[in-house]
């Protein structure tokens, strides 16, 4: 990803957690790699919790540096990276302060990128303030999730932002789309004759997509209690991953070709009948338990959470796609907090052989599967059956490990690093288009509405487990189970 594109990267929320843990470390890695960022490119942090540039750089040294470079920090690279950083102290609630930002960046070169690492309530006011001082022209704006609370509020934000920035200027970021295994999923499917003929209902029995966390809500109780797992994870991350897995081959990898195919998948999702939600959707809430030997509290006792809260911290769904390729194939989605392990993965379970001359083990479910691990370690494994050494025809599961770190000596690029470079270079393929977002909200809303109307409490599950038993029961009805033994 060599570039000569000069840029001015304006980071709103410059002292926030996202800036500290993800954005600034990603920009440093691109800087350290050499050639990925134009030498003239500048980073302009915007915040009100530092007095001046010197104090802000002190904050960067104390809080950002520990999050960069797992194998240690190259001090020379770090020192040169800090030279890229400027700082503007403004109050985001005061539109008049944006004149200070305009004056600070008006002579800086290159494309202007405005990254809104703030709460969504500030998206529209910031956009209006940028327009009031003429900073919206020929610029790009990056919006973090959550973008709205439901379809109506999402449309309201998109309408307001769309009055100021054209759709091709808006980059709605979903960092899961920037992960290396997701990129390799596209390469495996569309770059090889081996997988694509099998990627359909005739050969695929079911597909699972899991994003599991060991952490609870931490210090985000107030936010999370008004959001829940369905809004926080399913509407964006999980449905985006599903659309990547299920999409038809695009005619090219340009931005609209890829996003057109993703949109077709989202529009083909079988609508959920409110009368069937109990059969295809499970919601849970974690109670106290033990994670890695440490006792952890129940969700209802977390700071900022209402004691009588019915907010879900776990969701499992059965999803169907009504098109020629996937008709009849169940997609199982699962996400939750305080689960047994931290893992994000896609599991493609292929159908068993139609008849086995080698015994019953060749007919067992999941004997052939592709496991795409997104976190914590990024791998792709193809599982199949092989004969065990010795007498007799005894079969055992073996796997082919696509160890990309052994084939490619250069280190893998982190998701935010790839996506930020795409913004700077004007590549939209890995960002969510408005019509995709609307289709996802439209599918999710009946579930949200039914859960709200029924007022039934979520099913309890102990922290450190894999969620409510009803989640496993839902898969058992289809003769399968969650893949939980991988490490």
Structure tokens at 123: 């998206």
Residues forming the active site: 237
Cα–Cα distance measured from residue 171 to residue 431, given in angstroms and rounded to the nearest whole number: 6
Hey, CA dihedral for 21, 26, 27, 28, is it positive or negative?
positive
Cross-strand partners of 9? 43, 113
Three-class secondary structure of residue 300 per DSSP: helix
Cross-strand partners of 382? 370, 400
Q: Which of 365, 342, 367, 382 is nearest to 487 (CA)?
A: 342
Cα–Cα distance measured from residue 468 to residue 215, given in angstroms and rounded to the nearest whole number: 17
How many C-beta atoms lie closer than 10 Å to residue 477's C-beta? 10
Structure tokens at 443: 């599918």
Cα–Cα distance measured from residue 38 to residue 229, given in angstroms and rounded to the nearest whole number: 39
Three-class secondary structure of residue 31 per DSSP: helix
Three-class secondary structure of residue 63 per DSSP: helix
Who's near 411: CB < 8 A, 6+ residues apart?
A: 405
* Cα 52 to chain centroid, rounded: 34
The CA-based diameter of the chain, rounded to the nearest angstrom, is 82
Who's near 409: CB < 8 A, 6+ residues apart?
A: none
Per the document, the length of the chain is 487
Burial class (CB in 10 A: 0-12, 13-18, 19+), 255: middle
């Amino acid at each position: 990803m060599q570039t000569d594109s000069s840029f001015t990267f304006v980071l709103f929320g410059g002292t926030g957690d996202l800036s500290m843990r993800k954005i600034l470390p990603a920009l440093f890695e691109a800087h350290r790699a050499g050639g990925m960022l134009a030498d003239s490119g500048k980073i302009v942090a915007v915040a009100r919790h530092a007095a001046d540039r010197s104090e802000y750089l002190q904050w960067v040294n104390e809080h950002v540096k520990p999050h960069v470079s797992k194998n240690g920090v190259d001090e020379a690279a770090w020192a040169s990276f800090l030279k890229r950083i400027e700082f503007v102290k403004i109050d985001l609630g005061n539109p008049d302060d944006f004149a200070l930002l305009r004056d600070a960046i008006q002579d800086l070169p290159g494309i202007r990128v405005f990254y809104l690492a703030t709460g969504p309530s500030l998206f529209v006011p910031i956009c209006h303030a940028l327009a009031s001082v003429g900073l919206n022209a020929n610029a790009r704006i990056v919006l973090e999730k959550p973008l709205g609370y439901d379809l109506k509020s999402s449309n309201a934000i998109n309408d307001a932002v769309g009055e100021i920035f054209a759709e091709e200027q808006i980059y709605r970021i979903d960092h899961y789309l920037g992960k290396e295994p997701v990129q390799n999923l596209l390469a495996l499917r569309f770059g090889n004759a081996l997988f694509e003929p099998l990627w359909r209902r005739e050969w695929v029995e079911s597909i699972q997509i899991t994003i599991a966390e060991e952490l609870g809500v931490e210090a985000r109780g107030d936010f999370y209690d008004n959001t829940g797992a369905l809004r926080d994870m399913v509407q964006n991350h999980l449905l985006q991953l599903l659309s990547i897995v299920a999409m038809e081959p695009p005619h090219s990898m340009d931005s609209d070709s890829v996003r057109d195919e993703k949109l077709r998948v989202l529009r083909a999702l079988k609508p959920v009948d409110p009368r069937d939600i109990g059969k295809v959707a499970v919601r849970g809430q974690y109670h106290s338990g033990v994670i890695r030997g440490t006792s952890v509290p129940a969700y209802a006792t977390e700071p900022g959470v209402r004691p009588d809260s019915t907010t879900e911290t776990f969701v499992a769904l059965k999803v169907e796609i009504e098109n020629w390729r996937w008709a009849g194939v169940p997609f199982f989605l699962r996400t939750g907090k305080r689960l047994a392990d931290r893992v994000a993965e896609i599991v493609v379970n292929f159908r068993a052989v139609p008849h086995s001359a080698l015994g019953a083990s060749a007919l067992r479910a999941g004997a052939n599967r592709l496991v795409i691990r997104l976190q914590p370690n990024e791998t792709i494994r193809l599982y199949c059956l092989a004969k065990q050494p010795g007498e007799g025809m005894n079969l055992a599961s073996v796997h082919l490990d696509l160890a990309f770190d052994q084939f490619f000596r250069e280190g893998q690029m982190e998701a935010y690093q790839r996506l930020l470079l795409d913004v700077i270079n004007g590549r939209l393929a890995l960002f969510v288009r408005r019509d995709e977002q609307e289709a996802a909200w439209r599918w999710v809303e009946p579930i949200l509405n039914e859960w709200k109307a029924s007022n039934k409490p979520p099913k309890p599950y102990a922290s450190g487990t894999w969620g409510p038993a009803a989640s496993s029961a839902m898969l058992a009805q289809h003769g399968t189970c969650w893949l939980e033994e991988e490490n």
